[in-house]
């Protein structure tokens, strides 16, 4: 028998919130109906439900085979029964039973045939029924909300970005956000949503899932999740935006080859996410990574419990970056279509102009910005020794490899610990991607579980 469970490449380690904050993985090991364990299939482990006490019975074997075969179909796409047999090592009768069970459960269906000349049962291609469930992800910002609706396999069906003015009342702001989600759901042709993942600034209590304000965020942020749950009758998961971005970077971005890294989020605000040995670390109160409150000498003040002025935010937040650019004579016209802070436009313009700048203003600005970012990065490196720092958010992506290299050079002079610095390829989109990954994992965890597990209550983050 294969040992179970194996650790998740990015599991949540702090408190009950782990049930929905990240996908739970086990090393793939399919069990034949006679109880034969087969070696792991190559590639990334597949998602499985959590049940460490499940006894090894024939029904358990069938459940494991079903769940892990679904993982193969999720990863590889449509497969024939013969291909499933080859990839799993199961006997032909076991595969036939497996396919029949999953089809009767409405989880897979025939989606075509393999080869133009082939006909008959052996040529049938089976795939996961993508519209078995629909998912939504929200990126909630101070100035508005972005929404995307997908099918169970993550294919985008509809999306929208809705601005919400700072002078909008709490009730009106919540209504605008909920109405936007309902509109996108309708455009996607989805009758209902199974799971909604929300990324928002602030602290998410690992024990309760409540969103707490740390820097004067709008009240509508805290009320949105409850309103969505009431109106949509869907499972709603809330997570800190930077943690979700780290999940996306680990799965699809700059940290796919690392189990330990720190994401330095550079957007309108400043934040960090910490992944150690494959585990997302939230801390006792959900505040791991609130690096904007890191006291920085020379900023003229010390941060308070409700205001990060005087902290690292005063050095590297979007407003501070824009002011630094102005001090160096770096300007750029606003981009009406830009969804991130104007600081990202300034950094991108400086990166483009640095090689040919006659005055050296662009290079000087980027150098000064790297000096500031290295202060925050060095603090994380000294405490955690992550080996990798990812510069994320809109500003991090705008700085690209040039800014990452400049920060790396300064970090090497400040710390004896070898640390690579990489720019995020995802930028601000990482929050939505992370929210979708979280929603999809939770939905599949429930839908793909054996019948006896489908009514198990999960803890929402």
Conformational region of residue 277, where left means phi above 0, alpha means psi within -120 to 50, and beta covers everything else = left
Position 33 in a domain: no
Output the pLDDT for position 224.
92
- Whether 122 and 141 map to the same domain: the answer is no
| Burial class of residue 11, CB neighbours in 10 A (0-12, 13-18, 19+) | middle
Length of the chain: 461
**Through-space distance between the first and last CA atoms of the chain, rounded to whole angstroms:** 33
The CATH number of the domain where 111 resides is what? 1.10.10.10
Q: What is the mean pLDDT of residues 84-92?
A: 92
Q: Enumerate residues 6+ apart whose C-beta is below 8 A from 132.
A: 106, 107, 152, 447
* Domain end point (choices 109, 128, 147): 128
The reply to whether 402 and 259 lie within a common domain is: yes
HSE at residue 213, side-chain half, CA atoms within 13 A, is 13
Same domain (yes/no): 162, 213: yes
Strands 388-392 and 420-423: parallel
pLDDT on residue 213 = 67
Whether residue 440 sits in one domain with residue 376? no
The mean-pLDDT minimum among 31-45, 297-311, 427-441 falls in 31-45
- Of 320, 293, 283, nearest to 395 by C-alpha is 320
Domain assignment present for 421: yes
Lowest mean pLDDT among 148-162, 244-258, 325-339: 325-339
| Residue matched to tokens 């590297």 | 316
The upper half-sphere exposure of residue 35, i.e. CA atoms within 13 Å in the direction of its Cβ, equals 4
**Contact by Cβ (8 Å): 248, 438:** no
Are 202 and 286 spatial neighbours (Cβ–Cβ below 8 Å)? no
Examine residue 25 and state whether it is found in any structural domain, yes or no: no
Check: CB of residue 326 under 8 Å from CB of residue 361: no
Mean pLDDT on 326-331: 95
Tokens representing 107?
A: 């989880």
Q: Are 380 and 418 members of one domain?
A: yes
**What pLDDT is stored for residue 33 in this prediction?**
32
> Is residue 165's pLDDT more than 90?
no
**CA neighbor of 365 nearest in space, from 346, 379, 338, 391:** 346
Do residues 233 and 380 share a domain? no
Q: Can you give the pLDDT at residue 135?
A: 98
Residue 145 structural domain:
135-243+434-448
Task: Tell whether 40 is covered by a domain.
Answer: no
Note whether 282 and 298 are same-domain residues: yes
Per the structure, the count of domains in the chain is 3
Mean pLDDT across the stretch 145-153?
Answer: 96
Helix (H, G, I), strand (E, B), or coil: what is residue 436?
A: helix
| Final residue before a domain boundary, out of 128, 145, 174 | 128
What CA–CA distance (Å, rounded) separates 260 from 283? Answer: 16
Single out the residue of 410, 417, 308, 401 nearest to residue 368, CA to CA. 410
Assigned domain for 20 exists: no
Mean predicted confidence (pLDDT) in 351-359: 79
**Is 454 part of any domain?**
no
pLDDT score for 61:
83
Beta strands in 17-88 (DSSP E): 25-26, 46-47, 79-80
| pLDDT digits 0-9 by tens, 5-39 | 323 334 445 433 332 333 333 333 333 332 323 32
Q: What angle do CA 26, 420, 11 make, to 5 degrees?
A: 20
Beta bridge partners of 147: 138, 160
Tokens coding 177: 């956000």
Q: Does residue 309 contact residue 215 with C-beta atoms inside 8 Å?
A: no
Q: Which of 34-43, 134-143, 291-300 has the highest mean pLDDT?
A: 134-143
Residue 100 and residue 171 in one domain: no
Both 308 and 407 in a single domain? yes
Say whether both 216 and 70 belong to one domain: no
Q: What is the CATH number of the domain that holds 332?
A: 3.30.420.40
- On whether residue 51 sits in a domain, the answer given is no
Same domain flag for 305 and 354: yes
Residue ending a domain, choose from 71, 98, 128:
128
Domain check: are 70 and 144 in the same one? no
Considering the domain boundaries, does residue 3 fall inside one? no
Report, as an integer, the average pLDDT of 400-427.
96
Q: Name the band, by pLDDT with cuts 50, 70 and 90, for residue 82.
A: very high
To which residue do tokens 């090894």 refer?
56
């Amino acid at each position: 028998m294969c040992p179970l469970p194996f650790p998740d490449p990015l599991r949540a380690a702090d408190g009950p919130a782990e049930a929905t904050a990240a996908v739970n993985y086990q090393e793939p090991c399919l069990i034949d109906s006679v109880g034969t364990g087969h070696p792991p299939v190559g590639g990334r482990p597949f998602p499985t439900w959590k049940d460490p006490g499940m006894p090894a019975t024939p029904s358990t074997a069938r459940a494991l085979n079903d769940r892990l075969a679904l993982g193969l179909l999720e990863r590889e796409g449509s497969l024939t029964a013969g291909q499933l047999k080859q990839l799993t090592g199961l006997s032909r009768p076991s595969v036939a039973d497996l396919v029949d069970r999953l089809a009767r459960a409405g989880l897979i269906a025939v989606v075509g045939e393999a080869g133009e000349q082939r006909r008959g049962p052996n040529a049938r291609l089976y795939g996961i029924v993508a519209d078995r469930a629909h998912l939504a992800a929200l990126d909630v910002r101070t100035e508005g909300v972005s929404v995307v609706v997908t099918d169970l396999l993550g294919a985008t069906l509809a999306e929208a970005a809705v601005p919400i003015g700072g002078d909008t009342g709490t009730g009106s702001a919540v209504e605008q956000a909920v109405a936007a989600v309902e509109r996108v759901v309708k455009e996607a042709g989805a009758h209902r949503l199974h799971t909604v993942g929300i990324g928002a600034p602030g602290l998410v209590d690992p024990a309760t899932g409540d969103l707490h304000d740390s820097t004067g965020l709008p009240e509508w942020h805290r009320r949105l999740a409850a309103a969505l749950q009431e109106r949509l009758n869907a499972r709603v998961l809330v997570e800190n935006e930077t943690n979700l971005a780290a999940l996306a970077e680990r799965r699809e971005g700059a940290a796919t080859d690392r189990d330990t890294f720190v994401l330095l989020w550079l957007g309108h605000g400043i934040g960090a996410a910490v992944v150690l040995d494959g585990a997302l670390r939230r801390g006792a109160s959900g505040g791991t990574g609130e690096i904007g409150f890191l006291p920085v000498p020379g900023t003229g003040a010390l941060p308070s419990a409700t205001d990060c002025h005087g902290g690292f935010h005063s050095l590297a937040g979007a407003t501070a970056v824009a002011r630094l650019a102005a001090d160096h004579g770096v300007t750029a016209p606003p981009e009406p279509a830009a969804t991130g802070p104007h600081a990202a436009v300034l950094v991108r313009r400086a990166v483009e102009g640095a090689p040919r700048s006659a005055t050296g203003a662009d290079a000087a600005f980027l150098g000064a910005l790297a000096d500031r970012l290295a202060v925050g990065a060095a603090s994380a490196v000294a405490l955690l020794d992550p080996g990798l720092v990812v510069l994320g958010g809109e500003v991090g992506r705008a700085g690209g490899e040039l800014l990452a290299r400049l920060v790396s050079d300064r970090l090497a002079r400040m710390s004896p610990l070898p640390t690579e610095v990489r720019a995020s390829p995802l930028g601000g989109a990482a929050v939505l991607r992370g929210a979708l990954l979280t929603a999809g994992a939770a939905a599949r965890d429930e839908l793909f579980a054996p019948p006896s597990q489908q009514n198990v209550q999960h803890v929402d983050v």
